[in-house]
Amino acid sequence: MRKLLQYYAPYKRLIGLAVICNLLMSVFMVISIPVLQPFLQILFNPGELKEPVGNNAQQGLEAKLNHFFSQLITDHGREDALLIVCVFLVITFLGKNIFRYLSMYYLAPVRNGIVRDLRQKLVAKTVALPLSYFSEERKGDLMSRVSADVQEVEWSIVSATVAVAREPIVILGSLIFMISVSPGLLVFVFGLMLFSGLIIAGVGRSLKKQSGEAQQKLGLIGSLLEETLGGLRIIKGFNAEKWQEERFARENDNYTSTLNKIYRRRDLASPLSEFLGIGAVSVLLWFGAKQVFSGEISAATFITFLYAFYNIIEPAKALSSASYGIKKGLGALERVEAVLNADLKIYSKDDALKVSSFEDKIVFKNVSFRYQNSEENALSNISFELKKGQTIALVGSSGAGKSTIADLLPRFFDVSEGQILIDGKDIRDLHLQDLRNLMGIVSQDAILFNDTVWNNISFSTIDILRESLTKKEIDEAIENAAIAANAHEFIEHLPQGYETNIGDRGGKLSGGQRQRLTIARALLKNPPILILDEATSALDSESEKLVQAALERLLENRTALVIAHRLSTVQYASEIIVLDSGQIAERGTHTELMKKSGIYKKLVELQAL
């Protein structure tokens, strides 16, 4: 519960107002209880008038109420007295329910706000986490934590806030009256409630663990569903629909089985607490009746005590259900906090250096790197210089380490050994956002979003543009970037032009069109350093020509690190570095490497076949 309390902190004022309303609701409810005692006693004995007597508080209160209602019946008769009491009861219950509603009114923003805050923190942490974190986690499981787990927190824990904030006050108010009526009976009731509470707690003890298991299995289902939707083309192409369906069914059945256990245990809360409550009432009737028969308390006092006890049963049941809900929800909260508490690993130091321009060169100095949970280096002792205005091409077979080098420059990962320097400064000493502002990235897998063409091109740059340009000038800048990327013509033929939604991951566009949009995005950002990761592979000849022409414009007067399987795209690079098993095998210009008759020449000859 301590972990949960931190999420309530921003809503202390609203919770305070809700507690005040609950206190007032409890006051109105408790006021209605003592009305019954003298009314029941005197209504059937109207001739019995009593003056206020008694030295202790309980006797004084009872005597005063007896006298007041005796006088009321004498002065107005039974029917008018009954009407007055009924009006009084209506007023008290009206007040009770007004403050009950106000309590719910103030708690609604608390419930919804906590869920909103959790989702926002999760997304903020997710985009801040390093790529290494996601290589160890299933995407579907992370999506489940953001959606299903947070929803479970809302259903199970935050919903219980209503009970926790209201019911104890109601119970306390009833107990105060009960102890004023008969301390002996109250001690007996406490014993019954303690016995019932221990039984309920024992039943719900394992609920938190089972809930955590269920949420993990739900995350696995989400991951399988994400894989299924993303791989439908392959699943259908290999006639693997039945195999994938059975794979999903196994995990779905496991989740359902765990969920059945949880619901059966959770649903036991209400009937068990009701049964124990009725059992307690029965024992209380037996014990209280003995006191009435012996003359220790009056029948009216005992009936009023029973009414007060009845007012405890429903709140106690609500607290019991809330206890089950909290235990179930804590399992989901732990999964949410596992993401929130994950180590960032890659972040800006407190004294990070600000940088706004690239002036001289990029230096890889004896760089080695190994991926998390891997014993072998992906890169070993990599050293090279990329001077301003130059282009270095990285080539090699799949798995040679080309993309790893490209990922190290913007600090998607940090080097295991060595340094990467920009203008003589270690990139780990630079402010992370400033470092990435120097770079534009165009990858083979064109990363686009389910939004308009306009928003995809202006992605992340729009706020900077708005600081210095008008809306018309921004539109012109976006159009010029699209023209330079050979994208303007096909954009104009889209149904709504630049305002056309391109679908999930740009699915409404061809591969070449998606690629040109990413180039337009990089052109609009106008970064001094470019990372082109296999930007022209997997395209048809016509699309490749258009993309290649766009890239040539993009590379003008810029510093670039280029990766390409199609070696024709890197022949004019300032230097070509050939990688093999994470090490530099060859380096030089295209002409120099062709003369060496080494790995590079073999790759060129293989592509020429």
Domain holding 289: CATH number? 1.20.1560.10
pLDDT band at 534 (very low <50, low <70, confident <90, very high): low
Task: Judge whether 554 lies within some domain.
Answer: no
pLDDT band at 177 (very low <50, low <70, confident <90, very high): confident
Strand partners, 395: 578
| Cα–Cα separations (whole angstroms), residue 591 to 135, 285, 391 | 39, 103, 15
pLDDT band at 609 (very low <50, low <70, confident <90, very high): very low
Torsion of CA 8, 13, 14, 16, to 10 degrees: 90
How far apart, in whole angstroms, are the C-alpha atoms of residue 35 and residue 569? 93
pLDDT at 1: 57
| Cα–Cα separations (whole angstroms), residue 272 to 199, 268, 421, 441 | 9, 6, 68, 61
Asked whether residue 284 carries a pLDDT value surpassing 70, the answer given is: yes
Same domain, 328 and 389: no
**Contact yes or no for 560/529 (Cβ under 8 A):** yes
Percent of the chain scored above 90 by pLDDT? 21
Strand partners, 419: 365
Same domain, 359 and 327: no
Same domain, 187 and 293: yes
Residue 563 CB contacts under 8 Å (≥ 6 apart), including other chains: 393, 394, 395, 402, 403, 406, 532, 533, 534, 535
Same domain, 56 and 196: yes
pLDDT at 159: 64
> For 323, which DSSP code?
H
Task: Judge whether 187 lies within some domain.
Answer: yes
Task: Judge whether 247 lies within some domain.
Answer: yes
| Cα–Cα separations (whole angstroms), residue 491 to 92, 376, 486, 495 | 69, 46, 10, 9
Task: Please tell me the least confidently modeled range out of 124-138, 361-375, 496-510.
Answer: 124-138
| Residue where a domain stops, chosen among 324, 340, 356 | 340
How far apart, in whole angstroms, are the C-alpha atoms of residue 177 and residue 158? 30
Task: Judge whether 458 lies within some domain.
Answer: no
pLDDT band at 557 (very low <50, low <70, confident <90, very high): confident
Mean pLDDT confidence for 161-175: 76
Same domain, 110 and 20: yes
Per the listing, tokens 């990235």 go with 441
pLDDT at 57: 44
> For 442, which DSSP code?
E
Same domain, 304 and 380: no
HSE-CB of 57 using CA atoms within 13 angstroms: 7
pLDDT at 216: 77
HSE-CB of 185 using CA atoms within 13 angstroms: 31
Q: Where in the sequence is the domain holding 312, given as residue range(s)?
A: 2-340
- The winner for highest mean pLDDT among 259-263, 273-277, 571-575 is 571-575
How far apart, in whole angstroms, are the C-alpha atoms of residue 298 and residue 544? 97
pTM reported for the whole predicted model: 0.70
Task: Judge whether 390 lies within some domain.
Answer: yes
Residue 417, class by beta-carbon neighbours within 10 Å (0-12 exposed, 13-18 middle, 19+ buried)? middle
Mean pLDDT confidence for 90-113: 88
Asked whether residue 2 carries a pLDDT value surpassing 80, the answer given is: no
Asked whether residue 503 carries a pLDDT value surpassing 80, the answer given is: yes
Same domain, 350 and 329: no
Task: Judge whether 484 lies within some domain.
Answer: no
User: Helix, strand or coil for residue 488?
Assistant: helix
How far apart, in whole angstroms, are the C-alpha atoms of residue 332 and residue 338? 10
**Contact yes or no for 363/420 (Cβ under 8 A):** yes
**Contact yes or no for 43/66 (Cβ under 8 A):** no
Mean pLDDT confidence for 223-230: 73
Same domain, 291 and 367: no
User: pLDDT of 93-102, one tens digit each?
Assistant: 899 899 989 9
- Structure tokens belonging to residue 552: 């040539």
SS3 content of the chain, % helix, strand, coil (to 5): 65, 10, 20
| Residue where a domain stops, chosen among 340, 369, 391 | 340
pLDDT band at 255 (very low <50, low <70, confident <90, very high): confident
Same domain, 31 and 91: yes
Same domain, 293 and 390: no
Same domain, 336 and 372: no
Asked whether residue 60 carries a pLDDT value surpassing 60, the answer given is: no
Same domain, 66 and 195: yes
Torsion of CA 58, 59, 61, 62, to 10 degrees: 110
Q: What are phi and psi of 440, to 5 degrees?
A: -120, 140
Which amino acid, residue 518? T
Task: Judge whether 533 lies within some domain.
Answer: no
The mean of the pLDDT values for the chain is 81
b/e per residue, 460-475, with b = 16+ CB within 10 A?
A: ebeeebeeeeeeeebe
Residues in the chain: 609
Query: How many domains does the structure of the chain reveal?
Result: 2
Task: Judge whether 360 lies within some domain.
Answer: yes
pLDDT at 67: 65
| Residue where a domain stops, chosen among 320, 340, 360 | 340
- The winner for highest mean pLDDT among 169-183, 559-573, 582-596 is 582-596
Asked whether residue 56 carries a pLDDT value surpassing 50, the answer given is: no
Residue 236, class by beta-carbon neighbours within 10 Å (0-12 exposed, 13-18 middle, 19+ buried)? exposed
Mean pLDDT confidence for 7-26: 86
Asked whether residue 228 carries a pLDDT value surpassing 90, the answer given is: no
How far apart, in whole angstroms, are the C-alpha atoms of residue 86 and residue 388? 90
